Amino acid sequence: MNAPRETEGIAAAVEPDLSTADVRPEPPLAIVRGAPFLTLPQDLYIPPDALEVFLETFEGPLDLLLYLIRRQNLDILDIPIAEITEQYMEYVELMRELRLELAAEYLLMAAMLAEIKSRMLLPRPQEAEEEGADPRADLVRRLQEYERFKQAAADLDALPRLERDHFIVEAAVPPGFIRRLPPDVELHELLSALREVLARAELFTSHRVEKEQLSLRERMSQVLERLNGGGFARLTDLFDPSEGRPGVVVTFLALLELIKSSVLELVQSESFAPIHVKLREFSPATTA
C-alpha cells in the first residue's frame, strides 16, 4: 500500500481499506505527473505542498468530494472538523499566492461539511425528524446533480467527433468550373457611389475658382464697360450663366457695389416688369 505508483492522475492511486472504518489506513504515496511524493487526500485536508496540483486535478470541491466518497470511501459525516478547519485556515495564507477564488470554493465546502456535521450532532426535535429536515439533503442533491454531468461530459468526450475520429472528405473540383457570381448591386449602393463621385467633383470645382477670374473690381469694370454706350441694359443680361454660380454671385456683388457707390441705378417700370440697369447721369465716373 505504501509503494509509490505511477498513475494517470490522482484518482486511481488508492485502494479503499474497507476493514478499517475507524482506523484510517496509512497515507499512501503516489507520483503525480512526475511531481514529488504527495499524500493523497483521505479527507478534505490537502497538504499545502500538493494544493496546487490538486486545484488543477479536480474540477472543484464537488469533484474532490466525489472522489473522496467513491475512491477513498470517506464518510463525509466522519470528518474531524476542528482539525480540518485549523488546517484550512493555514491555507488562507497560502492562497494569497494561488488561485484565491478557487481556493475559496474549497473552503466553502469545508464550512458546509462542518455545518452539516454540527447539525447532525445536535439532538433534533421530534417534528424535524421528517425527510426534508436532513441537513445532508442539499449537499447530496448537489453531488447527484454534479455526478450526472460529470458523466455526461465523459460521454460527450467519448462521442466520435471531427478532427479526432472522423475527417471530412474533400475532393478538389477541376479548375474552370467554379464560377464566382458577381454580387447583386443594390440601389442604395449605387447612390452612395454617386454621392462619393459628386463629393469628389465638388472638391475639383472649388479648386477651379481662381482669384483673378472672379475679381469683384474687374467685374465692376466689365459691367460699367457694357453700360458705357448709355441707355438701359436688362439686369438679367448682365449675368453670364455659363460662368456658373460663383460668376453669377460676383456679378451680382459688383452690381450691388456699383449701386451702393451711386454709379448705377435700377429701373423698373412696374411690378414684376423686367429690371433694367443704367448709369446715373450725374455720376462723376461717367465719361460722356
Partner 1 sequence: MTDQPLKAIVEGALIAAGGPLTLDQLLALFGEDERPERAAILDCIRELSADYEGRGIEIAEVAGGYRVQVRASVAPWVARLWDEKAPRYSRALLETLALIAYRQPITRGEIEDIRGVAVSTNIIKTLTEREWVRVVGHRDVPGRPALYATTRRFLDYFGLRSLNELPPLSEIRDPESYFLSTNVVPTSEPTENTP
Residues within window 16-55 making contact with partner 1, judged by CB under 8 A: 21-22, 24, 26-27, 39, 41-43, 45, 47-48
Which listed residue (10, 62, 95, 258) binds partner 1 by CB under 8 A? 62
Q: For residue 30, give the 3-state DSSP assignment.
A: strand
SS3 (DSSP) at 232: coil
Q: Which residue, among 184, 165, 281, 288, has the nearest Cα to 232 in the 3D structure?
A: 281
What is the biggest distance separating any 2 CA atoms in the chain, rounded to whole angstroms? 139
- C-beta of 74 vs 277, nearer to partner 1: 74
Nearest to 52 by CA among 6, 8, 103, 117: 103
| Residue 59 contacts partner 1 per CB under 8 A | yes
> For residues 147 and 243, which CB has a smaller minimum distance to partner 1 in the complex?
147
193-222: contacts with partner 1 (CB under 8 A) = none
Shortest separation between residue 184's beta carbon and partner 1, angstroms:
18
Stretch that binds partner 1, among 166-174, 208-216, 247-255, 280-288 (CB under 8 A): 166-174
What lies within 8 Å, CB to CB, of 278 at 6+ separation is 227, 230, 231, 232, 233, 264, 265, 267
Distance between CA atoms of residues 80 and 59, nearest Å? 24
Residues in the chain: 288
Distances (CA, A) of 265 to 158, 188, 272: 100, 51, 17
Q: Between 160 and 231, name the residue whose CB sits nearer to partner 1.
A: 160
- Stretch binding partner 1 (CB under 8 A), from 100-108, 189-197, 211-219, 242-250: 100-108
- For position 135 contacting partner 1 by CB under 8 A, the verdict is no
Stretch that binds partner 1, among 74-82, 198-206, 231-239, 276-284 (CB under 8 A): 74-82
What is the per-residue binding string for partner 1 in 78-97, x denoting contact by CB under 8 A? xxx--x---x----------
Least distance from partner 1 to the Cβ atom of residue 23, Å = 9
Compute the least distance from the CB of residue 50 to partner 1, in Å: 10
Between helices 81-95 and 100-121, what is the axis angle to 10°?
Answer: 170
Backbone φ and ψ for 37, nearest 5 degrees, come out as -50, 140
**One of 14, 32, 53, 74 touching partner 1 (CB under 8 A):** 74
